[in-house]
Copies of this chain bind each other. A is one copy, B any other.
Amino acid sequence: MNGVDLLGAVAGAITTLTFLPQVIKTIKDKSVKDISLMMFIIAAVNEAMWIVYGALKSDWVIILTNAVILCLSLTMIYLKLAYTHKKTQP
């Protein structure tokens, strides 16, 4: 693996975990008012598209990377709905 491929592999790994700090902060703070639900819905649909693309290309890196990001996006969608619902209860 040369330097350029190593850079691509590291960048890909970081891309996979980009949403993680937001998931951790949201679980800790239990507050979602400022967070865009639409962003995470678009992200989830996008990752599903990349997973289909990776499957059609038999590219396991694309499949696994986007499967992890999809899990993080779905987690944020769940947290956004759960904590928004919790706040609206009397």
Contacts and interface: CB of A to CB of B under 8 A. Distances in A.
B25 A34 contact: yes
Give the most central of A17, A31, A35, A36: most B CB within 10 Å: A36
Contacts of A43: 18
A26 B18 contact: no
Give chain A's interface residue range (CB within 8 Å of chain B).
35 or more
Given A31-B33, A34-B29, A35-B35, A49 B18 contact: no
A34 B36 contact: no
Contacts of A53: 4, 7-8, 11
Interface of A: 4, 7-8, 10-11, 14-15, 17-22, 24-26, 29, 31-36, 38-39, 42-43, 45-46, 49-50, 52-53, 56-57
